[in-house]
Amino acid sequence: MFDWDDLRVFLAVARARKVAPAARALGIDATTIARRLARLEKALDAELFELSAGERTLTARGQELLGHAEAAESAALAAIEDAQGQEHRLAGQVRLSVAEGFGTWVLAPGMGDFNRRHPGIRLDLITASGFLNPSKREADMAVMLARPQRGRLMVRRLGDYRLHLYASLDYLARAGQPERAAQLKDHTLIGYVPEFIFSPELDYLDEVEAGLEATLRSTSIIMQQRMIAEGAGIGVLPDFIGRRDPGLVPLMPDQVEITRSFWLVMHGDLRKLARIAAVAQWLQERIETLSVYRDFRAAG
């Protein structure tokens, strides 16, 4: 006999790809997860997962079920929102996943304004390495560096931003100012740890000059900015970070300029909720406000 609660277990494992994190998310033990999956497969007379490299990947039948399960989940969530009368209320929790630099330099300065306008919305900003995925219900919304290619998502380009090489006056006085990108090989470079770059859009140095490698590396853009500001070396920063510090000098701005985009991503079923729409509008306003200072080019 089919148990609808087993579908919730199936969704958790499909999204986490492992039993242990799915069990933690659901608040039940791993043996219960395994037992319920076995029961679901027996009820459907189908193998839903196969084990590969320590992860549970969906079979063809599992992929088919995933689409139906997500549709059922969305319908259930919509019914709950409607029953509670929350669809049109500017209240409730919104979980927003953002890059650390975007959250720190773009959103944090405007949080007071957002709270004054929408005191009933509890906004959680998640800046862990990588992005939480709206298609997996890890977050309600995300501001991402690349347009997602899969999932039942609504995607909108918020705007473009530019990046340049920056160094402090102290560093340039001590080490000299490079005039060409090729001369950067003679300087101390600051950048990301290659093994922990969670998005290829953060891999800048090869775009500046082939073969460049950072000597001082961090997974944190905040730490990179502080190292550059303290005179440790030269690094690539978004202009919305680098231009905020009068002690930093952009290097070779006419020769080296990198452009990236921010994409607003949300699960398609959430876009009509008033609190989600309010956050989306505020994000767009933050981009448009900063575009006045040429830090961004807002999407048309």
The reply to whether 254 and 268 lie within a common domain is no
At which of 52, 84, 116 does a domain end? Answer: 84
Total domains, the chain: 3
The reply to whether 129 and 254 lie within a common domain is no
Most confident of 52-56, 61-65, 258-262: 258-262
Assign residue 119 the CATH number of its domain. 3.40.190.10
At which of 24, 51, 84 does a domain end? Answer: 84
Kindly report the pTM of this predicted structure: 0.71
pLDDT > 70? residue 54: yes
The reply to whether 152 and 201 lie within a common domain is no
- One-letter-per-residue 3-state SS of the chain: CCCHHHHHHHHHHHHHCCHHHHHHHHCCCHHHHHHHHHHHHHHHCCCCEEEECCEEEECHHHHHHHHHHHHHHHHHHHHHHHHHCCCCCCCEEEEEECCHHHHHHHHHHHHHHHHHHCCCEEEEEECCCCCCCHHHCCCCEEEECCCCCCCCEEEEEEEEEEEEEEEEHHHHHHHCCCCCHHHHHHCCEEECCHHHCCCHHHCCHHHHCCCCCCCEECCCHHHHHHHHHCCCCEEEEEHHHHCCCCCEEEECCCCCCEEEEEEEEEEHHHCCCHHHHHHHHHHHHHHHHHHCCCCEEECC
pLDDT tens digits, 56-67? 989 999 988 888
At which of 26, 49, 84 does a domain end? Answer: 84
State which residues form the domain around 106: 92-157+263-298
pLDDT tens digits, 170-214? 999 999 999 999 999 999 999 999 998 888 899 999 999 999 999
pLDDT > 90? residue 110: yes
